[in-house]
Chains A and B, each alone.
Chain A
Amino acid sequence: MNFDFLFSNLPQLTIGGLAFGAIYALIALGYTMVYGVLQLINFAHSEVFMYGTFAMLWTVMALGGADAGGIQLIAILIAALFSAMAMSAIIALLLERVAYRPLIKKDAPRLIALISAIGASFVLAELMGLRDRIAGWVGLDDNLSEYVGKARINNSMAGVLDAPRWEIGNVTISSIDVLVIVAAVGMMILLDQFVRRSRLGKGIRATSQDPETAALMGVNPTRTIQLTFLIGGLMAGIAAFLYMLKIETTKFDVGFLLGVKAFTAAVLGGIGNLRGALLGGLVLGVAETWGSALFGTEWRHVVAFVLLVVILLFRPTGLLGESLGKARA
């Protein structure tokens, strides 16, 4: 165990961990909201995120982000943010329509919904991984080769953004890490307020507390479910944007491990609880980074899962408990 390394780099590691955690938290929102309303693990949510990363990457490529600078680059990044959010939201809504609504209508057992989501997750990931072949069928592979090529390996947008690093004392802090943390925490606070105060948010809470009574009170359940998927998708889009800023590389199966981690974060904080998702994500991110400094990077994921098991042993419903519905306005 390398305590010296951990303590000498503590501020830097913590900032990096918080940035990762903030991304986990944004993805975790998608899990936690769907769980709050439907009591289902939305297994395909990781793919919603993955499509967002590609939307971001492709927008930057299409608008010539590699050569741009200054104001132009900022405009391109904003466009990329919106396309990532739009793409993720569309995929999330599609998912709800195809993989969930038919099952909810039939009042199917919950495990079957899980299987359906797993199937949808496979389909979405493979469609992305086979996009070169599919483009070949419709004869577009030449026109789109820049986008559909390298379908099963890493796709990178490295070097587009040359972000400054700040030196404070002997600590180097990446400005992107700070941006990621601030943006994610800001979005979470906005969302929290939205769910607590707005009419639509109250509808979501009512449905998660008691769907039948909520329906009697005039809350349209189908609309509410759609809304939760939409919000989850939008948040996953923002997470995808921030992730691409930080990591700069994506792949068709990038969602899988991130999805598992984000779900872990949601459970850690108490699934169904928005503030729990934020707390769980941040705790998970920091613990992972510290853990990998202590034991070596290869133990990073082990640290995350062991932490989860240990916390659930002492708090079987997560750090803050389940409570999308119970949250008081």
Chain B
Amino acid sequence: MSKIKQRFVALPKPVKILLWVLLALFAYALPLLEPPIISTPGVDFGGVLFVVTMYCLVAIGLNIVVGYAGLLDLGYVGFYAIGAYTAAVLTSFHAHWPLLLAIPVAVVVTTISGVLLGAPTLRVRGDYLAIVTLGFGEIIRLVAVNTEWLGERKGISNIARPPSIGGQEGLFEIPHLFWGDGTVLIDTKDTTQFLVFGVLDQIPYYWLGLTVVIVMLFADRLIKNSRVGRAWEATREDEDAAELMGVPTFKFKLLAFATGAFVGGLAGSLYASRQNFINPDSFLLLYSILFLAAVVVGGQGNRWGVLVGAILVAYLPQRFREFDDFRVLAFGLALVLLATLRPEGLFPPRRTVRAKHLEQELEELEEGAGGEESARV
């Protein structure tokens, strides 16, 4: 694994960019290709891929909170819900705004709610924070269940879709591939209308989701390598030391919370638009846990690891629908196995690995060279 990575890093920059572009193109084309093993029998492949992009988006956001800043957030689904409900209320339930106007408002509302939740609660640390955020997520859901203004249990339907390019007919149609026994044909009957956001075809939503994920990846890269990102990591590793070195940890933790909420709200409003319908059951505590599992399974703090985790968590249950009733059981087993076999996550960030190595070396030194002498050094 690391050898492949080294070879990739050593490539000249244009080649690297070309490879990335090819990968992105492949990702865009995936639902049209309908590759035999990957594609999901019985479930709409485009829809599954859209859900995967939403999990990726959520994982990127939660990774900022959990992975970079080290704040254990068990109520992340609350932000997702706020984003979704804001979009739903503005475009269908109490007003009829176009979606493109509602999404920015939804994102702003979630960011503000992130600050409002963070400002008082970030004084508590570790597991206390975990349970407070968990309580927050549940409060959001229960308020939605019990408030008439938010549609109660019935939920909200007819949420606006994004505007289609070129009207209901679209600009042009793209045919899918058809995989026969060993032959690949272009299936002219099964086509996707380019960027028409309708009920039946979910591929345009997937393209939208994928685009947002790519944009967020760039943003994530910028912020991780900035002063802010380093401040987050310092806070994560040792809050007191960071504070002593002049990092205003509270401010940065709050910023992490708000940034995470921002991404979560964006994902929520996109999800609401695609579902066209939401109710409180779309935001169970279970999803918070699944989101967290995606982040931790992939290797918290590692952008690509987190994406892999999100893809696994979102995709595997859909792919293995035959097991249906046993899906959750298998998922639980997978979590236990993964945790016991790869305790650092599938792809731990380099810094974590390095720190672990250093720690081991130090321990060996201390044990080898007779405690007291080395302790004084």
Contact = CB atoms under 8 A, between A and B. Distances in A.
Interface string A295-329: 00011011011101100110011100000000000
A130 B325 contact: yes
B12 interface: no
Interface of A: 35, 41, 98-99, 102-103, 106, 108-109, 111-116, 118-123, 126-127, 130, 133, 256, 260, 263-264, 267, 271, 298-299, 301-302, 304-306, 308-309, 312-313, 316-318
A139 to B, nearest CB: 18
Interface of B: 66, 72, 120-121, 123-125, 127-128, 130-132, 134-136, 138-139, 142-143, 145-146, 285, 289, 292-293, 296-297, 300, 325-326, 328-329, 331-340, 343-345
A271 B132 CA distance: 13
A150 to B, nearest CB: 15
A130 B328 CA distance: 11
A306 B139 contact: yes
Contacts of B138: 260, 301-302, 305
Contacts of B292: 115, 118
Given A102-B340, A126-B329, A130-B326, A119 B335 contact: yes
Contact of A316 (B124, B285, B329, B331): B124
Contacts of B345: 112
Nearest to B327: A126
Contacts of B135: 264, 304-306, 308-309
Nearest to B300: A111
A45 to B, nearest CB: 14
Contacts of B121: 309, 312-313
Tell me whether chain A's interface is mostly helix, strand or loop, or mixed: helix
B212 to A, nearest CB: 27
Contacts of B132: 308-309, 312
Contact of A103 (B124, B127, B340): B340
B139 A302 contact: yes
**Chain B CB within 10 Å — which of A106, A108, A114 has the most?**
A114
Contact of B334 (A41, A119, A304, A305): A119
A119 B344 contact: no
A111 to B, nearest CB: 5
Nearest to A133: B325
Nearest to A298: B146
A133 B334 CA distance: 20
Contacts of B325: 130, 133
Contacts of B128: 267, 271, 312, 316-318
Given A103-B343, A114-B72, 14 more contacts: A35-B127, A41-B127, A98-B336, A99-B336, A109-B343, A111-B72, A115-B296, A116-B335, A116-B340, A118-B292, A126-B332, A264-B131, A302-B142, A306-B139
A114 B338 CA distance: 12
11 contacts: A98-B336, A102-B340, A111-B72, A115-B338, A119-B333, A121-B332, A122-B331, A130-B325, A264-B131, A298-B142, A316-B125
A115 B124 contact: no
**Chain A CB within 10 Å — which of B131, B289, B292, B325 has the most?**
B131
A29 B79 CA distance: 31
A98 B139 CA distance: 33
Contacts of A305: 135-136, 138-139, 142
B185 to A, nearest CB: 40
Contacts of B293: 115, 118
Given A115-B293, A115-B296, A115-B297, A130 B339 contact: no
